[in-house]
Amino acid sequence: MKNQRLQIGIVVVAVAFILILSAVRFFGRNQLVEERFYATETPSIYSLKNQRQATQSAVMMDESATLQAIYYQIELQMNPQDANTYYYRAMSHVYQDNYWQAILDLDRAIQLGTGNIDLSTMYAERADAYSELEIYQLAIDDYTRAIKLSPSAYLYYDRAYVYYDMGDYERAIADFDQILSLSPEDKYAYRGRGRSYEGLENRTQAIADFTRAIEIDPEYTQAYINRGNVYVDLRQYTQARADYDRAIEIDPQNEVAFLNIGVIYDHLDDDESAYVYYNLALEIDPEYEFAYLYRGKKLYQFGNYDRAIADWTLYERLSGEALPIEYEPLRQDAYQKLGQ
């Protein structure tokens, strides 16, 4: 009787957990489509806008995941051949960023193959975990298995992202092509494909894809910024400024657009105007690391060495990365100028 009540309790909590997880992952995946190719001042995918959102759902999930770990351990002791429980425990590990533990549980669930969760979903989840660990080839292998079992746009998206991260832009483009064959009006796919063409330095096609995304959604700010970035690369600064201005018109709090206008002024050797726009970006987002990076260079050029060093230090703290190699000689010179 106790075992029966315990099993019922496990099922109830598991169902609640999966419902919450499904909702969070659904909205999270939509957000990923929007943010994965977030507009940046350069073509680098690693210049993504920082994600600093903590929601009530996330708190609920964290508490639920901890509780679930206890239930799943008990359930597996009673039924070590239950593929569903391995899958559910893997999902709690994923939410807590324990990706290796998630992979081990998904390995077991896939080996058992007797649960209610379809194999395509389990392969996709394991691929997500490999991707988070930057084990890209294993992620690609699992996404490919999932696609063969159940072709869907979101799986092609996920695989395209990994191909992009690997620098395999041609295969990323092929996956975005597949998405567009399923959904010809998908603005995110046009934008993702445009970013991939940008990676191949095919700027003409990149502009065409960003333009098509804008035609589908005339208020798609990220596409305006991406197209503006390509115009900057082509030194077509008037067109770039027009795109950044349009992005600001749609979203007056878009710090990336302000930063990129500063980049235009940098290219034009208008240091004072560049400095103004970097400050504007930081007024909107005081933790925008790239604004500190670029403003630091302006401060160095102005001879304000202590503030330049402070800005570069903030860049390193916020980005979690070392100062770019081309900036390091400037920082060392600033220290020397200050007699340090």
Can you give the pLDDT of all 340 residues of the chain as single tens digits?
545 554 555 445 554 545 445 444 544 444 444 545 444 443 333 232 233 233 334 444 555 666 676 666 667 667 767 788 888 888 888 888 899 999 999 999 999 887 788 899 999 999 999 999 999 999 999 999 999 999 999 999 999 999 999 999 999 999 999 999 999 999 999 999 999 999 999 999 999 999 999 999 999 999 999 999 999 999 999 999 999 999 999 999 999 999 999 999 999 999 999 999 999 999 999 999 999 999 999 999 999 999 999 999 999 999 999 999 999 999 999 999 998 8
Q: Are 147 and 156 in contact (CB under 8 A)?
A: yes
Instruction: Specify the CATH number for 1-117; select among 1.10.260, 3.90.105, 3.30.190, 1.25.40.
Output: 1.25.40
d(CA 51, CA 268): 31
Domain 271-340 has CATH 1.25.40.10: yes
d(CA 190, CA 177): 9
- What tokens were used for 239? 């067109």
For position 116, what pLDDT does the model report? 84
d(CA 39, CA 196): 13
Other CB atoms closer than 10 Å to residue 202's CB: what's the count?
A: 17
Other CB atoms closer than 10 Å to residue 299's CB: what's the count?
A: 22
Q: Using alpha carbons only, give the angle 248, 38, 198 rounded to the nearest 5 degrees.
A: 105
d(CA 244, CA 241): 5
- Report the sign of the C-alpha dihedral through residues 317, 44, 42, 331, in that order: positive
| Phi and psi torsions of 334, nearest 5° | -60, -40
Q: Are 68 and 102 in contact (CB under 8 A)?
A: no
The pTM (predicted TM-score) of the whole model is: 0.78
For position 4, what pLDDT does the model report? 53
C-alpha closest to that of 142 among 161, 165, 119, 164: 119
Q: Are 259 and 49 in contact (CB under 8 A)?
A: no
Contacting residues for 76 by C-beta, under 8 A, at least 6 apart: 82, 85, 86, 89
3-state secondary structure of 41: coil
The maximal CA–CA distance of the chain, rounded, in angstroms, is: 79
What's the burial of 149, exposed, middle or buried (CB within 10 Å: 0-12/13-18/19+)?
middle
What radius of gyration do the chain's Cα atoms show? 24
